[in-house]
Amino acid sequence: MGDHSLGLTNHAHRRLPTTGALMSSRELQWWSPVIVSGWWRLDLMGPRWKGKEAEAKALANPISKIVSQLQSSLIQTDSQGILSGSSLILGATPEQTELLNHACFGRPIITSDKNKQWFQLSMEEAFYLCYSLKCIKITVKEDNLIFDLPQLWNYMKIKRETFPNSFKAYSHLRAKNWVVRPGSQYGVDFVAYRHHPSLVHSEYAVLVLSEGNGDLNDRLRVWSDFHCMLRLCGSVAKTLLVLSVDQNGNGVNSPCCLERYSIEERTVTRWSAEQCREDQKVAENGTK
């Protein structure tokens, strides 16, 4: 996919009902707007760059390059993070501080230590650096023992039941070179940026749902949930992206199961018939 598109899965277009009825997973699967022939249209938000030079700066220094540099630097220094509750504390050299900031991993912690910067990472960020990039080791605050991957996996599952699906969605977007940040301020799991937030606004508000065994977060269960979420996304110029994670019967016993999980991407947007009719009329007049 690269930095230019998300490679979304398309299904047939259906109008959004206004009733408060519960939706089945099949109804959610089929209600997925797409661009089709004729005058129906899907208004996906494009990138909104911050300034005239922002796009050129992003192209000159892609996220994939920054993450690769960060990975190499953390491996060279044999970096270790310390688990503290539901987050990870990671020390960084001046070079790593710059790379962590540019790659958008964690948030800096202000301390009096001028020789070393500390970052607080979410569980998804920590596990991505440890499991996917294999560039940090993780210890426990109490006894300073290094966790192996099964121990770390079990720790994070205990801390949050939805972690396996949440991490699968996070790593899915990160692997496609999207910058992924927490989305709680918008009522979603994540927001996805094409590049660093200082250069571009986020394009997608991301909800992670569970296929097969029901949604552990119990969201988007009624049509009114869709209406509210779409109104919110529209007001902040973002496209709602629903990532449905299917464990395919593999369970959550070990991180090896992640390779057998599958993800289906769906973008959801409001459809304005009046606006489409007007657009077609303008297009017809332009051809006469």
By annotation, the residues acting in catalysis are 193, 201, 238
3-state secondary structure of 160: coil
Antiparallel, parallel or unpaired: β 107-109 and 117-122: antiparallel
3-state secondary structure of 236: coil
Measured between alpha carbons, how far is residue 57 from residues 24, 187, 196 in Å? 44, 30, 10
Per-residue tokens: 208 = 């992670």
3-state secondary structure of 193: strand
69 alpha-carbon distance from chain centroid: 21
Whether 139 and 80 have beta carbons less than 8 Å apart is answered as: yes
Whether 60 and 91 have beta carbons less than 8 Å apart is answered as: no
CA separation for the pair 190, 170 (Å, rounded): 8
3-state secondary structure of 257: helix
Nearest Cα residue to 174 out of 155, 152, 193: 193
Whether 89 and 82 have beta carbons less than 8 Å apart is answered as: yes
Residue linked to tokens 């009046």: 274
Please name the residues in contact with 34: beta carbons below 8 A apart, sequence gap of 6 or more: 10, 11, 12, 13, 42
Nearest Cα residue to 99 out of 119, 122, 128: 119
